[in-house]
């Protein structure tokens, strides 16, 4: 099978999927979850029809697609200027460079549309257009990552590190840095633990990422469960002290 046409085709349909979902949502008649339930199954069914009709002889490894085979990623290579390089490094590196350029060029507009869409519209910045561009970037990145790490780990690393970082800080730049750091911890820690336990690398990375989220949920300085419990305890103690002082004042008056 030719890898680049497959990745390109998947990227095209990924873009169609996210744009279709966003178009349905923007009508105001369909919510996000309903739009996903309408567009994604339709494209999935179209893919099943295409495979059953035109690619019956193609071997599709569902385990690799769902769970990923990171250990075998270096053996899948591409010829780049006469040099054989791992396909994951080439495609993933291109995605990293493209994402960094996208964020760097549109950093201020992305912040404005994310936190104050009304102001963005007032200064002639279209939140809908930037949202679609961001969705396209996420879709392409996910498609490139599917073959190497599998669907489960793609979803895990798209959501869990950012969710954990959101529990630790309110500053956007710090949130992005913490998200990247948690992703690295999940990758390196998952590989280390998987090698020691002879377990699935992708699965162990997901477990480490989930562990980071649990730690942030418990020990976050502002939104963590421990911090909230301490604030409730202190507020209750202050309320009891004020109530006791009021009762003493009533008794002496």
Give the tens place of pLDDT for each residue, 101-154.
999 998 888 888 877 778 777 777 788 788 888 888 888 888 888 777 877 888
Q: Is the pLDDT of residue 253 over 70?
A: no
How far apart CA 135 and CA 216 sit, in angstroms, is 27
For the beta carbon of residue 57, count every other beta carbon within 10 angstroms.
Answer: 5
Q: Please choose, from the candidates 159, 160, 154, the residue with its C-alpha nearest in 3D space to the C-alpha of residue 211.
A: 160
Q: What is the pLDDT of residue 65?
A: 62
Segments making up each domain of the chain, as ranges: 151-244
Q: Which two tokens stand for residue 189?
A: 């820690």
Are 75 and 89 contacting, i.e. CB atoms less than 8 angstroms apart?
no
Q: Is the pLDDT of residue 46 over 70?
A: yes
- In order, the DSSP letters of 179-203 are HHHHHHHHHHHHHHHHHHHT--HHH
Largest CA distance in the chain: 94
Give the tens place of pLDDT for each residue, 174-208.
999 999 999 999 999 999 999 898 888 888 898 99
> Which residues, other chains included, contact 70 with Cβ-Cβ below 8 Å and sequence gap of 6+?
148, 149, 191, 201, 202
Q: What is the pLDDT of residue 68?
A: 66
């Amino acid at each position: 099978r030719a890898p680049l046409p497959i990745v390109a085709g998947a990227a095209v349909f990924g873009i169609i999927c996210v744009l279709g979902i966003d178009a349905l949502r923007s009508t105001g008649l369909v919510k996000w979850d309903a739009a996903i339930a309408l567009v994604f199954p339709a494209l999935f069914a179209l893919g099943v029809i295409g495979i059953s009709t035109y690619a019956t002889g193609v071997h599709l490894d569902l385990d690799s697609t769902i769970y990923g085979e990171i250990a075998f990623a270096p053996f899948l290579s591409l010829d780049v200027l006469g040099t054989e390089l791992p396909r994951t490094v080439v495609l993933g590196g291109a995605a990293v460079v493209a994402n960094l350029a996208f964020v760097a060029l549109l950093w201020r507009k992305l912040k404005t549309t994310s936190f104050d869409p009304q102001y963005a519209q007032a200064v002639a910045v279209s939140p809908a257009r930037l949202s679609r561009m961001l969705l396209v970037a996420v879709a392409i990145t996910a498609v490139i990552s599917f073959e190497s790490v599998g669907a489960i780990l793609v979803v895990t690393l798209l959501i869990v590190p950012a969710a954990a970082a959101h529990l630790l800080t309110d500053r956007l730049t710090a949130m992005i840095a913490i998200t990247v750091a948690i992703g690295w911890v999940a990758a390196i820690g998952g590989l280390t633990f998987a090698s020691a336990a002879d377990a699935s690398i992708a699965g162990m990375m997901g477990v480490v990422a989930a562990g980071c989220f649990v730690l942030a949920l418990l020990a976050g300085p502002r939104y963590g469960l421990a911090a909230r419990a301490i604030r409730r305890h202190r507020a209750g103690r202050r309320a009891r002290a004020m109530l006791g002082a009021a009762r003493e004042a009533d008794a002496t008056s």
